[in-house]
């Protein structure tokens, strides 16, 4: 982010990957699934417009049998690996509102929860040092990550890295996924 000589604020993308949401179009348009979902949750099954709807969809599909196969409502990964760090910093923490509000890239506390000084040098990450990595948004987002991974994803996902989890949705038993990188 920068303010140019014309006093306008400009931004270049600061992530190398787009974070996408994908879903099983065929399942979301199946008449039985649509009717069952509406009966249970009181609104139409469709692309979620908020995190509560995403969780409802994950809950709805998890454990259902479709075409003779047990299916899951969510996919993620949980093996200790550098890719798990990216998952938290590029997705869960920033989407939960970690860091300062209303200032581009969260200065002085960025979306990763790291506080920087006036020269953009890191000076702390925990709340005791002015950061936000253990603040309410961070704690909430990581708890949601853990809850959803355990409740709505295939059990083996907990032991997978990004690369290992990538082919799983193509096997046809996952309804949706957030934060899929291109």
Flag whether 112 is in a domain.
Answer: no
Flag whether 25 is in a domain.
Answer: yes
> Which structural domain, as residue segments, surrounds residue 52?
19-80+160-181
The structure tokens listed for 109 are 């506390």
The structure tokens listed for 2 are 């920068």
The structure tokens listed for 151 are 């409740």
Average pLDDT score over residue span 55-60:
99
pLDDT mean across residues, the chain: 87
Domain count across the chain: 1
Flag whether 27 is in a domain.
Answer: yes
- Angle formed by the axes of helices 31-41 and 51-61, to 10°? 120
Flag whether 105 is in a domain.
Answer: no
Whole-angstrom Cα distance, residue 59 to residue 61?
A: 6
Give the DSSP H or E segment for 159.
Answer: none
Asked if residue 2 has pLDDT above 70, the reply is no
Check residue 68 and give left, alpha or beta (phi > 0: left; psi -120 to 50: alpha).
Answer: left
Least confident of 1-5, 45-49, 156-160, 163-167: 1-5
């Amino acid at each position: 982010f920068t303010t140019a000589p014309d006093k306008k604020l400009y931004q270049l993308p600061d992530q190398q990957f787009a974070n996408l949401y994908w879903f099983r179009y065929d399942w979301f348009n199946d008449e039985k699934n649509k009717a069952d979902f509406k009966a249970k949750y009181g609104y139409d099954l469709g692309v979620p417009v908020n995190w509560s709807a995403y969780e409802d969809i994950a809950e709805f599909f998890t454990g259902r049998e479709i075409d003779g196969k047990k299916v899951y409502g969510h996919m993620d990964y949980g093996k200790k690996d550098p890719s798990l760090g990216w998952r938290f910093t590029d997705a869960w923490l920033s989407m939960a509102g970690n860091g300062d509000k209303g200032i581009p890239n969260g200065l002085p506390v960025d979306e990763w929860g790291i506080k920087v000084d006036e020269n953009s040098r890191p000076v702390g990450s925990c709340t005791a040092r002015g950061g936000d990595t253990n603040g309410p948004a961070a704690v909430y987002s990581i708890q949601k990550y853990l809850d959803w991974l355990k409740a709505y994803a295939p059990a083996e996902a907990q032991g997978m890295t990004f690369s290992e989890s990538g082919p799983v949705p193509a096997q046809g038993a996952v309804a949706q996924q957030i934060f899929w990188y291109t």
